[in-house]
């Protein structure tokens, strides 16, 4: 059994020790630089409000588990969770709409919530100002965690199970050998360990640096005050920190409230961002108390002035009280607002669980314990996977700017496609200048600038046949959308379009062990001759889909893999290291070649004509170039590899070249395409076309929570192949007995859009949720993919809840477009 060291005894570290112990793990040491009675991290002063509902399903389920677990814990005769419920109030029409959306995704994730009118808000919370409140969302399962008490309880319970705690002991080094962690360094010497987990909270950057690991986290100060007794509250709660009213959020003004006996606790996110360097904070003293701890900085009253006035506006009873005590508490923000959970991409055995709120603490700890003990969390961890960031996104300047933006938006109404204004233009493909000339509207993804559509195509909208004319949309779904997308989809289906696919992650996997590695990790045979191409899956040991990839055999010992980003790179690199350690002669190298290469997709019925015009020496034609085959082709005098890929359900190719050749490749294709009516088209059209053809996106439509059968990807599993990761688990799963399945829906009225995460109802009861959505221009109606209970069948009439409105839809057979594949037979 492994020797585990956990750095940090806050709410995350102690929960992790507890989760590991409950799974039978022993030999666990928890080390904290602070003293036991109050270690001095963010947990030591956390007011403990737990609002569970979150646009992310994983975050919501983390919170649900935290509530469930804390409800089962008692410290000094008191429960560690006070389930007073939560109330989020709206004081603007926009927020009222947002609460409807929130009610939708809470329902999707199984949280019971209720939209309530202003009168009912007053019944739930009599202190509210009736003149301001327009309505609210009531969440009965929310409440208050006693975070510090939970830590004390978990320390005592895990200690009884043999966990060793070292207090007032700072970790000053991480020992490693052969890319594997071997221990930690403290003033008392080296403590050997084969697993080290950093649960160091906002000190994560410093601890990560000891292991050579950049941690994309920014510590920031956040203001919290306690009031004097509020006369209207006197006698209401018997305990000094007691509460009986729901926890309250007033997000229109960045405020939250809790009762503290007769007093109030008020938190504020509306002040200027106040980044903090943990390394410059005072070291943790041995006599930490409520007012003297490194995570509690001096209050800056001027930053709270507006908040105090706004608080009294919402709760007039506060006008009879004063601020008794305030501080600027330190907590962690990340570039995308999600926690950092998982194993280091480069140092095996070094794990991280940081930027975690009290709300999600037990859920995150359970997920990490599952990952460490059985290799898989029951929840999809893609949103908080430690390795999810591109190198560019790990630079301190990016982390600083993006995390501060997240602080500003923590209570804002954020559209699912909302873009940051800065940092931008970090990763530009070689076609960027040409795309600008065509009026490309760029959206950012993984720090790449990707054309969403091209304004130059606006003139085509008027030429669209009646059945292709774009439908009118509601204001919310019209954001980040243009009717030009319809024209780009139309040209792809009727002529030819060129798509920039450069941002797709490309890995080179090479060496004498490359075939072994890919054979062991994928669901299909990837050992064909050089030039062969396979769409295949990476599974985990339990049969869940870790990723979907395309594998191209370039040479006997060299492959190009089209993957889903840095998490796949980390996985392949880790597996390659392990294989190389076990069999040095079968070594494998994994290299990210995305930035040094580029890729264009050329699709449409006339793509062959364009290809023929370009490849004068050796027109590949479709006859001499079978599907899923890669061929070396010279285009405009530059070497390229053309792969017959059918992503959008039209004839065509992905054309790959080195980045230095990119501009010439674009110009050559552009020139050759003009006589055939070719246009440049963007990601929005691509999304519409792929949904018409039933193509899934990993991380959106499927994840480790789904097996290939549930995702409708059984075709990617080769029946006669065994021995790969996940094969045994998959064999044990009967194909037709999974509880749910990814389904395709079409919207009955032909125009109402949904965007994803909305709940789906059958006969009035919830049966699942939407994963992705787009308007299907070729089929003339919106399409949505949904994870639905198995009992929902093709042809069933369902309803989708969108901002409180029920939209009728039908479960459809897939694919919606060209089901016989006739267009691909040419």
Q: Which stretch binds ligand FAD (CB under 6 A): 10-18, 403-411, 473-481, 721-729?
A: 10-18
Look-up of token digits 């909302």: 418
The answer to whether 153 contacts ligand FAD (rule: CB under 6 A) is no
625 is catalytic: no
CA 611 from centre of chain: 38
Among residues 207, 293, 318, 744, the one that binds ligand FAD under rule CB under 6 A: 207
Structure-token pair, residue 717: 């599993």
571 is catalytic: no
The answer to whether 470 contacts ligand FAD (rule: CB under 6 A) is no
Taking the C-alpha atoms of residue 480 and residue 483, their distance in angstroms, rounded to an integer, is 11
Q: What are the distances in angstroms from CA 486 to CA 458, 468, 752?
A: 10, 7, 16
Among residues 330, 486, 521, 600, the one that binds ligand FAD under rule CB under 6 A: 330
The answer to whether 203 contacts ligand FAD (rule: CB under 6 A) is yes
Among residues 139, 163, 356, 773, the one that binds ligand FAD under rule CB under 6 A: 356
Q: Which stretch binds ligand FAD (CB under 6 A): 33-41, 285-293, 471-479, 542-550?
A: 33-41
Which CB atom, from 357 or from 572, has the smaller least distance to ligand FAD?
357
Where is 538: in which H helix or E strand?
Answer: strand 533-539
The answer to whether 146 contacts ligand FAD (rule: CB under 6 A) is no
Q: Active site residue: 125, 165, 224, 256, which one?
A: 256
The answer to whether 726 contacts ligand FAD (rule: CB under 6 A) is no
The answer to whether 18 contacts ligand FAD (rule: CB under 6 A) is no
Q: Which of residues 155-184 bind ligand FAD (CB under 6 A)?
A: 170-171
- Per-residue binding letters, 278-297, with ligand FAD (x by CB under 6 A): ------x----------x--
Taking the C-alpha atoms of residue 484 and residue 454, their distance in angstroms, rounded to an integer, is 7
DSSP structure string for 238-287: SSTT---SPEEEEGGGTEEEEEETTEEEEEE--SPP-B--GGGSPPPPTT
Which CB atom, from 201 or from 636, has the smaller least distance to ligand FAD?
201
Distance separating the N- and C-terminal Cα atoms of the chain: 59
In 498-551, alpha helices (H): 514-521
Which CB atom, from 25 or from 357, has the smaller least distance to ligand FAD?
357
Q: Active site residue: 348, 380, 548, 701, which one?
A: 548
Q: Which stretch binds ligand FAD (CB under 6 A): 227-235, 350-358, 382-390, 603-611?
A: 350-358
Q: Which stretch binds ligand FAD (CB under 6 A): 352-360, 380-388, 499-507, 815-823?
A: 352-360
The answer to whether 682 contacts ligand FAD (rule: CB under 6 A) is no
Which CB atom, from 50 or from 537, has the smaller least distance to ligand FAD?
50
256 is catalytic: yes
E strand intervals along 335-447: 340-343, 350-354, 440-445
The answer to whether 201 contacts ligand FAD (rule: CB under 6 A) is yes
Closest distance to ligand FAD from the beta carbon of 128 (Å) = 20
Lateral strand order in the sheet of 4-7: 164-166, 28-31, 4-7, 195-198, 350-354, 340-343
Among residues 5, 16, 43, 470, the one that binds ligand FAD under rule CB under 6 A: 43
- Per-residue binding letters, 293-322, with ligand FAD (x by CB under 6 A): --x---------------------------
Where is 363: in which H helix or E strand?
Answer: helix 361-374
CB atoms inside a 10 Å sphere around CB 763: 9
Among residues 5, 6, 20, 34, the one that binds ligand FAD under rule CB under 6 A: 34
The answer to whether 357 contacts ligand FAD (rule: CB under 6 A) is yes
The answer to whether 49 contacts ligand FAD (rule: CB under 6 A) is yes
Where is 448: in which H helix or E strand?
Answer: strand 448-454
- Beta bridge mates, 183: 175, 192
The answer to whether 199 contacts ligand FAD (rule: CB under 6 A) is yes
Closest distance to ligand FAD from the beta carbon of 331 (Å) = 4
Q: Which stretch binds ligand FAD (CB under 6 A): 92-100, 127-135, 200-208, 718-726?
A: 200-208
Among residues 42, 344, 393, 567, the one that binds ligand FAD under rule CB under 6 A: 42
The answer to whether 225 contacts ligand FAD (rule: CB under 6 A) is no
Among residues 4, 5, 6, 11, the one that binds ligand FAD under rule CB under 6 A: 11
The answer to whether 744 contacts ligand FAD (rule: CB under 6 A) is no
Q: Which stretch binds ligand FAD (CB under 6 A): 20-28, 327-335, 686-694, 698-706?
A: 327-335
Q: 671 burial class (0-12, 13-18, 19+ CB within 10 angstroms)? A: middle
Taking the C-alpha atoms of residue 364 and residue 59, their distance in angstroms, rounded to an integer, is 9
Collapsing DSSP to helix, strand or coil, 527 comes out as coil
Collapsing DSSP to helix, strand or coil, 574 comes out as helix
User: Cis ω on the peptide bond leading into residue 142 (within 30° of 0)?
Assistant: no
The answer to whether 384 contacts ligand FAD (rule: CB under 6 A) is no
The answer to whether 52 contacts ligand FAD (rule: CB under 6 A) is no
Q: Active site residue: 45, 138, 222, 360, which one?
A: 222
CB atoms inside a 10 Å sphere around CB 818: 15
Closest distance to ligand FAD from the beta carbon of 283 (Å) = 10
CB atoms inside a 10 Å sphere around CB 821: 11
Q: What are the distances in angstroms from CA 7 to CA 185, 289, 331, 791?
A: 11, 21, 17, 46
Q: Which stretch binds ligand FAD (CB under 6 A): 228-236, 357-365, 501-509, 659-667?
A: 357-365
Closest distance to ligand FAD from the beta carbon of 24 (Å) = 23
Collapsing DSSP to helix, strand or coil, 63 comes out as helix
Closest distance to ligand FAD from the beta carbon of 269 (Å) = 10
CA 641 from centre of chain: 32
**Closest C-alpha to 294, from 364, 363, 206, 228:** 206
Size of interface with ligand FAD, in residues (CB under 6 A): 42
**Closest C-alpha to 640, from 609, 616, 615:** 615
**Rounded to the nearest 5°, which phi and psi values hold at 604?**
140, 165
The answer to whether 41 contacts ligand FAD (rule: CB under 6 A) is yes
Q: What are the distances in angstroms from CA 654 to CA 498, 501, 533, 646, 662?
A: 10, 8, 12, 9, 13
Residue positions annotated with a catalytic role: 222, 256, 548
Question: By the criterion CB under 6 A, which residues form the site for ligand FAD?
Answer: 7-13, 31-34, 39-43, 46-50, 170-171, 199-203, 207, 222, 224, 267, 284, 295, 329-331, 354, 356-359
């Amino acid at each position: 059994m492994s020797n585990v060291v956990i750095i940090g005894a806050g709410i995350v570290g102690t929960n992790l020790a507890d989760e590991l112990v409950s799974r039978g793990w022993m030999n666990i040491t928890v080390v904290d630089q602070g003293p036991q009675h109050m270690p001095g991290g963010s947990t030591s002063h956390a007011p403990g409000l737990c609002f569970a509902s979150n646009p992310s399903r994983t975050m919501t389920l983390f919170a649900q588990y935290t509530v469930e677990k804390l409800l089962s814990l008692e410290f000094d005769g008191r429960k560690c969770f006070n389930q007073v419920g939560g109330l989020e109030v709206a004081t603007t029409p926009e927020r009222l709409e947002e609460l409807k959306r929130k009610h939708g995704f809470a329902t999707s994730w199984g949280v019971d919530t209720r939209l309530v009118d202003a009168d009912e808000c007053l019944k739930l919370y009599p202190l509210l100002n009736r003149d301001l409140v327009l309505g609210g969302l009531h969440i009965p399962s929310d409440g208050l965690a006693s975070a510090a008490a939970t830590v004390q309880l978990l320390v005592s319970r895990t200690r009884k199970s043999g966990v060793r705690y070292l207090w007032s002991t700072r970790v000053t080094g991480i020992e490693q050998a052969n890319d594997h962690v071997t221990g930690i360094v403290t003033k008392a010497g080296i403590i050997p360990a084969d697993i080290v987990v950093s649960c160091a909270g906002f000190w994560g950057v410093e601890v990560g640096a000891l292991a050579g690991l950049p941690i994309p986290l920014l510590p920031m100060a956040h203001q919290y005050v306690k009031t004097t007794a509020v006369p209207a509250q006197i006698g209401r709660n018997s305990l000094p920190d007691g509460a009986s009213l729901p926890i309250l959020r007033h997000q229109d003004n960045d405020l939250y409230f809790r009762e503290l006996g007769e007093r109030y606790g008020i938190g504020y996110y509306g002040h200027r961002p106040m980044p903090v360097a943990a390394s410059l904070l005072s070291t943790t003293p041995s006599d930490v108390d409520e007012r003297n701890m490194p995570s509690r900085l001096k209050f800056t009253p001027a930053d709270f002035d507006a908040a105090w006035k706004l608080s009294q506006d919402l709760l007039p009873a506060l006008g009879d009280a004063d601020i008794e005590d305030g501080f600027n508490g330190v907590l962690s923000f990340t570039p995308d607002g999600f926690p950092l959970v998982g194993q280091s991409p480069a140092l095996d055995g070094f794990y991280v669980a940081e930027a975690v709120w009290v709300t999600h603490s037990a859920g995150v700890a359970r997920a990490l314990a599952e990952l460490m003990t059985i290799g898989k969390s029951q929840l999809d961890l893609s949103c908080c996977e430690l390795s999810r960031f591109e190198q560019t996104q790990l630079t301190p300047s990016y982390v600083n700017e993006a995390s501060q933006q997240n602080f500003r938006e923590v209570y804002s109404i954020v559209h699912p496609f909302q873009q940051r204004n800065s940092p931008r233009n970090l990763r530009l493909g070689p076609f960027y200048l040409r795309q600008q000339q065509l009026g490309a509207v760029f959206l950012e993804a993984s720090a790449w600038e990707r054309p969403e559509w091209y304004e130059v195509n606006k003139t085509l909208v008027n030429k669209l046949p009646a059945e292709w004319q774009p439908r009118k949309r509601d204001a919310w779904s019209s954001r980040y959308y243009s009717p030009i997308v319809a024209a780009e989809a139309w040209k792809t289906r009727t002529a030819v379009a060129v798509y920039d696919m450069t941002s797709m992650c490309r890995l080179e996997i090479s060496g004498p062990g490359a075939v072994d590695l890919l054979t062991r990790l994928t669901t299909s045979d990837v050992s064909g001759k050089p030039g062969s191409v396979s769409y295949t899956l990476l599974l985990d040991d339990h049969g869940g889909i870790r990723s979907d990839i395309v594998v191209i055999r370039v040479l006997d010992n060299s492959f190009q893999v089209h993957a889903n980003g840095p998490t796949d790179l980390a996985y392949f690199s880790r597996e390659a290291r392990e294989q190389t350690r076990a069999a040095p002669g079968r070594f494998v190298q994994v290299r990210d070649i995305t930035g040094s290469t580029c890729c264009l997709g050329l699709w449409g019925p006339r793509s062959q004509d364009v290809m023929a015009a370009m490849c004068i020496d050796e027109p590949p034609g479709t006859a001499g170039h079978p599907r899923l085959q890669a061929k070396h082709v010279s285009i405009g005098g530059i070497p390229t590899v053309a792969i017959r890929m059918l992503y959008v359900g039209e004839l065509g190719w992905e054309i790959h070249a080195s980045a230095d050749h990119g501009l010439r490749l674009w110009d050559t294709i552009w020139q050759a395409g003009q006589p055939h009516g070719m246009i440049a088209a963007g990601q929005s059209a691509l999304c519409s076309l792929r949904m018409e053809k039933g193509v899934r996106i990993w991380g959106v439509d499927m994840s480790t929570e789904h097996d290939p059968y549930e995702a409708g990807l059984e075709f990617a599993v080769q029946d006669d192949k065994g021995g790969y990761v996940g094969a045994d688990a998959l064999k044990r799963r009967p194909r037709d007995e999974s509880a749910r399945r990814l389904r395709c829906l079409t919207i009955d009225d032909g125009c109402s859009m949904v965007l994803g995460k909305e709940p789906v109802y059958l006969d009035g009861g919830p049966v699942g949720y939407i994963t992705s959505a787009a308007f299907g221009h070729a089929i003339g109606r919106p399409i949505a993919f949904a994870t639905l209970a198995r009992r929902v069948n093709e042809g069933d009439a369902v309803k989708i809840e969108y901002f409180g409105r029920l939209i009728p839809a039908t479960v459809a057979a897939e694919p919606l477009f060209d089901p016989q594949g006739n267009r691909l037979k040419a």
